[in-house]
C-alpha cells in the first residue's frame, strides 16, 4: 500500500531489491527457480563445480575481475538470462564520491595537458630566440663571466697590439 502511494509499483520495488542482491545469490536463486542442480549447471557450462559453488557463495561479489565476469556471463546464458544485464548487476554503481573523484581526475588530466602545451610553447620560443628569453641587459656579458687568466692568450694579444702599433709607425713604402 505504501509503495502504491509513492507511485512505485511492486515490480519496480522487486527489481530494485534484486539489483541490491549480490550476484552470487541472484544466480543461485535463478538456478533454483529453474530447477537446475549445481552439477547439471557445471556439466552444461563446463565450469568446475567448485568454481560455481564459490560464485554462488559470493566469493566473487567484491572483486568483479575478468574471470568472474566470464563465469557470470556463461552461467547467465545457461540459465536463459540476458548475459549483459546479468554482468551489469555485478558491477558496482558509481557513488557520488566516485563521480567527484572522476571529475577531479579529468580536471587533473586537463591541467597536465595544459601545462604540457605551455611547456612546449616556451621551449619553442626559447629555441627560436636563440636560447635567450630574458633581455640582454638582464644577463651578464660573456667577458664578465670569464674569471680565468690565460697567460698565453694575454701574450698573444699583447704581441698583436705591438705588431699593429709598429705597422702604423712605419711609413708606407711606395714605388
1-16 tens-digit pLDDT: 444 444 445 554 445 5
42 pLDDT above the threshold of 60? yes
CA-to-CA dists, residue 66 to 62, 63, 100, 139, angstroms: 13, 9, 26, 61
DSSP 131: S
Return the pLDDT at 6: 47
Q: What's the full length of the chain, in residues?
A: 175
* Domain edge (last residue) among 45, 73, 90: 90
Residue-wise pLDDT for 127-157, tens only, equals 777 666 665 655 555 555 555 677 888 888 8
Q: Using CA atoms, how far apart are residues 120 and 165, in angstroms rounded to an integer?
A: 53
DSSP 139: S
Overall number of domains in the chain: 2
Closest to 47 measured CA to CA, from 19, 20, 25, 79: 79
Residue-wise pLDDT for 77-132, tens only, equals 999 999 999 888 877 655 556 667 777 777 778 888 888 888 888 888 877 776 66
Tell me the CB-side half-sphere exposure of residue 43, using CA atoms within 13 A. Answer: 5
CA 27 to chain centre: 34
* Domain edge (last residue) among 90, 120, 150: 90
Residue-wise pLDDT for 9-35, tens only, equals 555 444 555 556 888 899 999 999 999
Full domain range(s) for residue 66 = 2-90
Return the pLDDT at 14: 47
* Domain edge (last residue) among 73, 90, 107: 90
Amino acid at each position: 500500500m505504501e509503495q502504491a502511494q509513492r507511485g512505485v509499483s511492486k515490480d519496480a520495488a522487486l527489481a530494485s531489491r534484486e539489483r541490491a542482491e549480490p550476484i552470487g545469490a541472484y544466480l543461485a536463486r535463478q538456478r533454483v527457480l529453474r530447477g537446475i542442480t549445481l552439477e547439471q549447471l557445471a556439466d552444461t557450462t563446463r565450469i568446475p563445480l567448485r568454481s560455481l559453488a564459490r560464485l554462488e557463495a559470493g566469493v566473487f561479489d567484491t572483486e568483479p575481475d575478468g574471470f568472474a565476469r566470464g563465469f557470470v556471463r556463461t552461467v547467465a546464458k545457461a540459465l536463459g538470462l540476458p548475459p549483459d544485464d546479468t554482468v551489469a548487476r555485478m558491477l558496482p554503481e558509481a557513488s557520488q564520491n566516485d563521480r567527484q573523484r572522476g571529475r577531479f581526475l579529468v580536471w587533473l588530466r586537463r591541467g597536465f595537458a595544459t601545462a604540457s602545451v605551455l611547456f612546449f610553447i616556451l621551449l619553442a620560443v626559447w629555441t627560436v630566440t636563440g636560447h635567450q628569453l630574458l633581455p640582454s641587459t638582464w644577463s651578464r656579458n660573456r667577458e664578465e663571466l670569464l674569471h680565468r687568466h690565460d697567460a698565453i692568450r694575454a701574450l698573444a694579444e699583447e704581441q698583436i697590439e705591438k705588431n699593429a702599433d709598429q705597422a702604423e709607425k712605419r711609413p708606407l713604402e711606395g714605388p
